[in-house]
Chains A and B, each alone.
Chain A
Amino acid sequence: MIDEERCDGCMLCALACSIAHTGNADLERAHITVWRTQEGLHVPLACHHCETPSCTEACPTKACRQDLADGRVIIDDGQCIGCRTCVVACPFGHAHYDRVNRVSAKCDYCDGEPECARVCEPGAIRYVFADESSAHKRREAAVARAARALRS
């Protein structure tokens, strides 16, 4: 879950991601990016692991595929030929092309314990189960309503 209002653009998520996946602090090879909007908001963007991913449809080798067990969209380095079709096909701008390994790469949720969520101090990035995400938003809305009621 991404809360862009909490993000302050520190880029620790991208640093942690690149170190975890490549061993180097190389923002260009991180699987998460932080965009700054015209209104000054910072928006962390990573793969959404879509239910019907455009990238898997476009991949000619099935290197980019959906894990049937947990629904993650992953890229198999061994089968990827680096054609970058998934990069142009993704509507969100993920995956990206790793120029060192010469293959496409994207967020893989770090096998269940994402580094970006672990290091995010403002709490802009949180890793929750899908069935909990809507409950989380309902709790936030209830807290906001209660706060307004107390102030009035």
Chain B
Amino acid sequence: MTEVAGTERVWTVPADLAARIHAEPRPADAQSSWELSIAGYLYLGGLGAGAFIVATVAGWLGLSLAPTGAAVLGDWVWDWSPALVLWGPFVTALGASLLVFHLGRNRSLFYTACRNPRTSWLARGFLILTAFIVVGCLLALIAIAAPSWPDRLPGLWRVAEVVGVLLASATAVYTGLLLRSIRFIPAWNATLIPLLFLVSAISTGAMGVTVGAMLHGYLTGDAGSAHDLVRWLEALEVPLITTEAALLALYIGRLRRGKPEGALAARTWLSGRWRYGFWGGIVGLALALPFVLTLVNGALGSNTVALAAAASVLTGGFMLRAGILAVGVKEAAPLYRLAEWRARHPKVGAGPAPERS
């Protein structure tokens, strides 16, 4: 401990000062403010949105699950089949709750979080997610609790579904736009991030709906009840995975050729401390394994193989978001760079720094 006199008070300097000063000289570590709960928020938000898009479009194509009418109160008949495919908005709501737990003061969230939608993507996201969750949950609940209503007003129902799909698409893209809005983290501020997250959301959503469809077959005792839907989802997954792989390769290529912190992020993924998560979790689980399994299952038609592919994609989708957050290295502070440059190029004729009295 050192006592320093010379001012109005005597300051006692803590013993950890040396450790603090000799800490990492350049802030090259990834940011730590947005941790794993934010990855969960982004993942579940995208998963729920993608699942809603896929399930709704499948319904438009006539690929719905067989209804399971169950009389509850007198003549009231409800159908729990839609619950297995229209769970998307509920999952997005669960993801939003992860954001709430991340906040320091979450009690004031709901009346303060949307005050700055003019410039803040977090505020815009609050509005977009709220709209999607409300509309989506309403559609799902009507499909479950009042399955005859859509047939009574088909035009209005279709309009509502289109609105729901648009809001779900906005939700999926927003999860990428939120990261892209952070201008000084090159790994996040990439043009491809929103598109990559949209494709990943639809991919994971499709696999999530696949699991729901197979669960329907298990619960009803009719394994073939969702056959057409599952096969369609598998066929959809192949171009989705291909597109996602192409976007990922393009994204990493641009990072490597861009700013130093972006190149550092790419190196961390390809050969650094996140290489196992990248090659195993993202490339392996999200892309390669499900690609092979869905291709093979096109001939086999096995629910087990389909389930394995779904589990792989669902895990890999989370790894993608967690991985992007994990390599969020901020550009070095301009004053920092200036100081380093001036140290390498000392001013000619400048006197020494004054010594302390």
Contact = CB atoms under 8 A, between A and B. Distances in A.
Contacts of A90: 184
A83 B102 contact: yes
Contact of A39 (B11, B126, B344): B344
Nearest to B112: A61
Contacts of A87: 31, 33
Chain B at the A interface: mostly helix, strand, loop or mixed?
A: loop
B335 A12 contact: no
Contacts of B7: 12, 119, 121
Contact of A60 (B16, B33, B123, B357): B123
A145 B347 CA distance: 11
Contact of B181 (A10, A43, A58, A62): A58
Nearest to B352: A5
A82 B100 CA distance: 10
A134 interface: no
B257 interface: no
Contacts of A88: 31, 33-34, 182, 185, 328, 330
A69 interface: no
A90 B13 CA distance: 29
A91 interface: yes
A80 B104 contact: yes
B242 interface: no
Contacts of B120: 57-60, 85
B151 interface: no
Interface stretch (B22-30, B85-93, B265-273): B22-30
Interface in B81-119: 99, 102-106, 108-109, 112-116, 119
A80 B334 contact: no
B122 A62 contact: no
Contact of A58 (B21, B119, B330, B344): B119
A103 B121 CA distance: 19
B353 A93 contact: no
Nearest to A3: B353
Nearest to A87: B33
Given A15-B11, A57-B119, A83-B122, A89 B184 contact: yes
A34 interface: yes
B interface, size bucket: 35 or more
A62 B115 contact: yes
B292 interface: no
Contacts of B27: 35, 93
B116 A62 contact: yes
A108 interface: no
A139 to B, nearest CB: 14
A25 B340 CA distance: 29
Interface string A92-115: 110001000111100000000000
Given A60-B126, A81-B113, A122-B356, A97 B33 contact: yes
A75 to B, nearest CB: 12
Given A34-B21, A60-B114, A61-B113, A45 B184 contact: no
Interface in B304-349: 328, 330-331, 333-336, 339-340, 342-344, 347, 349
B106 A81 contact: yes
A2 B334 CA distance: 13
Contacts of A4: 335, 339, 342
A121 B9 CA distance: 13
A36 interface: yes
A71 B7 CA distance: 30
B299 interface: no
A36 B20 CA distance: 9
Given A83-B122, A88-B33, A60 B113 contact: yes
A84 B353 contact: no
Interface of B: 4, 6-7, 11-14, 16-17, 20-23, 25-27, 31, 33-34, 99, 102-106, 108-109, 112-116, 119-123, 126, 181-185, 328, 330-331, 333-336, 339-340, 342-344, 347, 349-351, 353-354, 356-357
10 contacts: A5-B353, A8-B353, A8-B356, A34-B21, A35-B336, A38-B25, A43-B336, A43-B339, A81-B108, A102-B105
Top 5 nearest A-B pairs (CB, nearest first) are A82-B104, A102-B104, A39-B343, A60-B123, A91-B184
